[in-house]
């Protein structure tokens, strides 16, 4: 007679096997959910390759998230992640999608309807996000719809493949412990091969769809069209940058910021790709006559060269979101005079190709400064990341009220009637760039040798100019820094002070005086609502 196991051993074995089945079910469910979501995103990317980048669900959801994110969170992201803030946002969205997908897959192990409902919610969010974008159309919902359907099909197939017949009990009450067939290990289970094959197919669908979709999206790129642009000679030229504008101090910011190094802060997760032959600028609203200008017509207008420093309102004291370039563009003032601004209008509400809006005071454009509808940057057509084919550049104003990239529409209106993107979120409608200075060298926490040391950096007060920069060590007296030459009022200015450094821990501080006589204040003011101010400080150790 076969030896019978004690009841306790049978119960323990049954409990252990039940626990193993539960863990396996959760793992299979989570993996099924991830594969279904991956397939959904891959197929959505493939469909977007045909319909256009505006329908990419992750980017659409990301754009909506940017619009809904509270201003302090946005400022935190820009301050801590810089130009990588968008990558961090997309990474966070993908993590949330993965968690949601795993939960959906686990729920689907109990009843497939739960999983299909989860994917329906997934698709609905994608559709809602795509249709909520300012420049979207019905076709932009297609990637989310088709992707969700593909994900549902994959989840259904995986759920069927993962069914373990041992889960179907003969009835309530204790069930006999089924012995494993000869040669079947603890990790084997019925349907394992079918599940693995289905999972492999889902992974191929996800990767293949995403890869092919990315290739197809490449046909929307305007890089080749940009390379074909030949900028005309300017009607108003600027002499070369004075030799004395660039101090020979290692580590100081270059007077002219290279295009590849110029800061970029905007809300576009995917760079708008605007073919120059399709670009048009509409000027309308409170004007005597509406204008509609093509890119070719813009290039035939008299173009002006101008050296202009731009700064982002998100720049912290001593921060990197400021740069100087030589811009080429048509006069915005001439454009407004041609359209004929009606009495009472005080705002240019400009709109980019992706629907972002910006409000610029008309008086600043008409007061004689080099306000441009720019087409060139440092001798080249605008980089796509900086607004190709055309953007606004207005000296003296923070970018959120002056520097619309990929601009396609200028509505002449009033500040009372229309509020631009950031003004709707609490930022000031009027935002001149504040007088600021920055220490580039030495770097914070640097260790220096005692003796003569160069302390150097840049200072800016666009359209007011700079009269002086002063530096001090610790609580010592303010010392005059030597200012580099500049070609005009609208650029930043390099400065240097030769410091006789003595051993010890020192705090270096800088302040600037602008062309109106105003001195950069000592008290730190946060970014919101119209730009940070205060004095940049650097702590160093001298040995």
pLDDT at 177 over 50: no
Q: Give CA–CA dist 457/251, Å, rounded.
A: 9
Which tokens hold the place of 163? 């069914």
Cβ atoms of residues 158 and 199 within 8 Å: yes
Cβ atoms of residues 311 and 437 within 8 Å: no
> What does the pLDDT look like over 376-424, one tens digit per residue?
999 999 999 999 999 999 999 999 999 999 999 999 999 999 999 999 9
311: burial class by Cβ within 10 Å (0-12, 13-18, 19+)?
buried
Among 513, 487, 490, which Cα is nearest to 432's?
Answer: 490
Q: What pLDDT sits at residue 126?
A: 85
User: Where is 108: in which H helix or E strand?
Assistant: helix 85-110
Whether the model pTM is above 0.75: yes
Measure Cα distances from 225 to 67, 105, 389 in Å.
31, 45, 10
CATH 3.90.420.10 range(s) for the chain read: 243-424
pLDDT band at residue 354 under the 50/70/90 scheme: very high
β partners of residue 309: 324
388 CB neighbour count, 10 Å cutoff: 27
Mean pLDDT confidence for 343-367: 97
Mean pLDDT of the chain: 89
Q: Where are the alpha helices (DSSP H) in 340-489?
A: 362-365, 421-424
> What does the pLDDT look like over 240-277, one tens digit per residue?
999 899 999 999 999 999 999 999 998 888 899 999 99
Q: What pLDDT sits at residue 179?
A: 45
> What does the pLDDT look like over 491-516, one tens digit per residue?
999 999 999 999 999 999 999 999 99
Does domain 436-542 match CATH 2.60.40.650? yes
The per-residue DSSP string of 520-537 comes to PPSS-B-STTT--BS--E
- Report the DSSP pairing between strands 372-377 and 391-393: antiparallel
Q: Give CA–CA dist 313/429, Å, rounded.
A: 12
Phi (first) and psi of residue 381, to 5 degrees:
-55, 150
Q: Give CA–CA dist 216/450, Å, rounded.
A: 60
Among 339, 367, 383, which Cα is nearest to 432's?
Answer: 367
Q: Among 38-47, 360-369, 488-497, which stretch is predicted with the lowest mean pLDDT?
A: 38-47
Mean pLDDT confidence for 17-46: 85
Torsion of CA 65, 137, 35, 19, to 10 degrees: 60
Q: What pLDDT sits at residue 215?
A: 92
C-alpha 330: how far from chain center: 28
Q: Give CA–CA dist 210/44, Å, rounded.
A: 8
Looking at residue 515, the DSSP 8-state letter turns out to be: T
β partners of residue 280: 294
CATH 2.60.40.650 range(s) for the chain read: 436-542
pLDDT at 191 over 80: no
Does domain 243-424 match CATH 1.10.357.20? no
Measure Cα distances from 290 to 283, 285, 425 in Å.
6, 8, 30
C-alpha 13: how far from chain center: 55
Q: What pLDDT sits at residue 186?
A: 47
Q: Which residues contact 9 (CB under 8 A, 6 or more apart)?
A: none
């Amino acid at each position: 007679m076969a030896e019978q196991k004690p009841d306790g051993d049978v119960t323990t074995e049954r409990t252990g096997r039940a626990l193993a089945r539960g863990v396996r079910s959760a793992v299979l469910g989570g993996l099924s959910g991830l594969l279904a979501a991956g397939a959904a995103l891959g197929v959505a990317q493939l469909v977007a390759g045909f319909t256009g980048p505006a329908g990419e669900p992750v980017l659409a959801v990301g754009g909506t998230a940017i619009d809904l994110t509270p201003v302090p969170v946005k400022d935190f992201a820009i301050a801590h992640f810089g130009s990588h803030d968008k990558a961090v946002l997309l990474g966070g969205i993908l993590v949330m999608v993965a968690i949601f997908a795993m939960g959906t897959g686990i729920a689907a192990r109990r009843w497939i309807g739960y999983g299909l409902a989860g994917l329906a919610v997934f698709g609905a969010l994608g559709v809602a996000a795509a249709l909520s974008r300012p420049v979207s159309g019905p076709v932009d919902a297609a990637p989310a719809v088709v992707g969700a359907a593909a994900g549902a099909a994959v989840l259904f197939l995986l759920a069927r493949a993962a069914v373990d017949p041992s889960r179907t009990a003969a009835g309530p009450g204790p069930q006999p412990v089924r012995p494993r067939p000869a040669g079947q290990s603890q990790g084997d289970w019925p349907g394992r091969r079918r599940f693995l094959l289905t999972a492999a197919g889902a992974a191929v669908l996800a990767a293949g769809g995403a890869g092919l979709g990315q290739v197809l999206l490449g046909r929307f790129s305007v890089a080749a069209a940009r390379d074909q642009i030949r900028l005309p000679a300017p009607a108003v030229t600027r002499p070369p940058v004075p030799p004395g504008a660039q101090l020979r101090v290692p580590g100081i910011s270059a007077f002219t910021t290279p295009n590849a190094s110029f800061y970029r802060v905007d809300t576009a997760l995917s760079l708008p790709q605007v073919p120059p032959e399709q670009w048009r600028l509409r000027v309308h609203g409170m004007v005597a006559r509406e204008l509609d200008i093509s890119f070719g017509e813009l290039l035939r207008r008299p173009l002006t060269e101008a050296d202009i420093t731009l700064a982002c309102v998100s720049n912290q004291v001593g921060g990197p979101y400021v740069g100087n370039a030589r811009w080429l563009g048509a006069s915005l003032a001439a454009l407004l005079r041609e359209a004929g601004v009606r009495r009472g209008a005080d705002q240019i509400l400009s709109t980019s190709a992706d629907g972002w809006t910006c409000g610029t005071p008309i008086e600043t454009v008409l007061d004689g400064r080099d306000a441009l509808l720019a087409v060139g940057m440092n001798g080249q057509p605008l980089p796509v990341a900086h607004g190709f084919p055309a953007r606004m550049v207005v000296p003296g104003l923070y970018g959120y009220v002056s520097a619309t990239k990929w601009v396609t529409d200028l509505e002449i209106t009033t500040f009372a009637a229309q509020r631009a993107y950031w003004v709707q979120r609490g930022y000031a409608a009027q935002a001149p760039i504040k007088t600021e200075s920055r220490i580039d060298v030495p770097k914070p926490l640097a260790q220096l040798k005692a003796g003569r040391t160069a302390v150097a950096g840049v200072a800016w007060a666009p359209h007011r100019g700079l009269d002086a920069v002063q530096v001090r060590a610790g609580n010592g007296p303010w010392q005059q820094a030597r200012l580099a030459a500049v070609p005009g009022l609208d650029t930043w200015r390099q400065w240097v002070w030769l410091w006789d450094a003595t051993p010890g821990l020192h705090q270096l501080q800088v302040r600037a005086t602008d062309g109106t006589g105003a001195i950069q204040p000592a008290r730190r003011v946060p970014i919101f609502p119209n730009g940070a101010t205060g004095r940049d400080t650097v702590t160093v150790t001298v040995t």
